[in-house]
Amino acid sequence: MTVSATARRTVRVDLGDRSYDILIGPGLIAAAGREIALRLKGRKIAVITDEHVAPLYLDGFMAALKAEGIDAVSLVLPAGEKTKSFEHLISVCDSVLAARIERNDAVVALGGGVIGDLTGFAAGIVRRGSRFIQVPTSLLAQVDSSVGGKTGINSPHGKNLIGVFHQPDLVLADTDVLDTLSPREFRAGYAEVAKYGLIDKPDFFAWLEGNWQAVFAGGEARIEAIATSCQAKADVVAADERENGQRALLNLGHTFGHALEAATRYDSARLVHGEGVSIGMVLAHQFSARMNLCSPDDGKRVEAHLRAVGLPTTMGEIPGSLPPAEVLMDAIAQDKKVKAGKLTFILTRGVGQSFVADDVPQSEVIAFLKEKLPT
Find the DSSP H helices in the chain: 32-39, 59-67, 86-98, 113-125, 139-140, 183-200, 202-217, 220-239, 254-263, 273-290, 296-308, 325-333, 362-372
pLDDT for residue 243 is more than 50: yes
pLDDT band at 333 (very low <50, low <70, confident <90, very high): confident
pLDDT for residue 4 is more than 60: no
pLDDT band at 5 (very low <50, low <70, confident <90, very high): very low
pLDDT, average across residues 321-337: 86
pLDDT, average across residues 222-247: 93
For position 3, what pLDDT does the model report? Answer: 41
pLDDT, average across residues 186-202: 98
Q: What angle do CA 69, 76, 30 make, to 5 degrees?
A: 40
For position 242, what pLDDT does the model report? Answer: 87
pLDDT, average across residues 230-258: 92
Question: Which residues define the annotated binding site?
Answer: 113-117, 137-138, 150, 159, 192, 254, 273
Q: What is the pLDDT of residues 159-189, one digit of tens each?
A: 889 999 999 999 999 999 999 999 999 999 9
pLDDT band at 1 (very low <50, low <70, confident <90, very high): very low
Q: What is the pLDDT of residues 249-268, one digit of tens each?
A: 999 999 999 999 999 998 99
Whether the Cβ atoms of residue 239 and residue 246 lie closer than 8 Å to each other: yes
Can you tell me the distance from the alpha carbon of 164 to that of 93, in angstroms, rounded to the nearest whole number?
A: 14
Grouping H, G, I as helix, E, B as strand and the rest as coil, residue 369 is helix
pLDDT, average across residues 234-251: 90
pLDDT for residue 197 is more than 90: yes
Whether the Cβ atoms of residue 27 and residue 179 lie closer than 8 Å to each other: no
For position 346, what pLDDT does the model report? Answer: 95
pLDDT band at 156 (very low <50, low <70, confident <90, very high): confident
Whether the Cβ atoms of residue 193 and residue 227 lie closer than 8 Å to each other: no
Whether the Cβ atoms of residue 337 and residue 344 lie closer than 8 Å to each other: yes
Question: Which residues define the annotated binding site for Zn(2+)?
Answer: 192, 254, 273
CA-closest candidate to residue 124, choices 93, 98, 157: 93
Q: What is the pLDDT of residues 73-103, one digit of tens each?
A: 999 999 999 999 999 999 999 999 999 999 8
For position 158, what pLDDT does the model report? Answer: 82
User: pTM to 2 decimals?
Assistant: 0.92
pLDDT, average across residues 118-128: 97
More confident residue, 174 or 334: 174
Specify the DSSP class assigned to residue 4: P
CB atoms within 10 A of CB 218: 14
For position 209, what pLDDT does the model report? Answer: 98
Q: What angle do CA 73, 75, 81 make, to 5 degrees?
A: 150
Q: What is the pLDDT of residues 286-295, one digit of tens each?
A: 999 999 999 9
CA-closest candidate to residue 281, choices 243, 247, 311: 311
Catalytic residues: 128, 150, 192, 233, 243, 247, 251, 254, 258, 273
Query: Which residue ranges form the domains of the chain, and what is each CATH number?
Result: 9-177 (3.40.50.1970), 183-372 (1.20.1090.10)
pLDDT for residue 359 is more than 90: no
pLDDT band at 318 (very low <50, low <70, confident <90, very high): very high
pLDDT, average across residues 144-149: 95
For position 337, what pLDDT does the model report? Answer: 54
Q: What is the pLDDT of residues 210-226, one digit of tens each?
A: 999 999 999 999 999 99
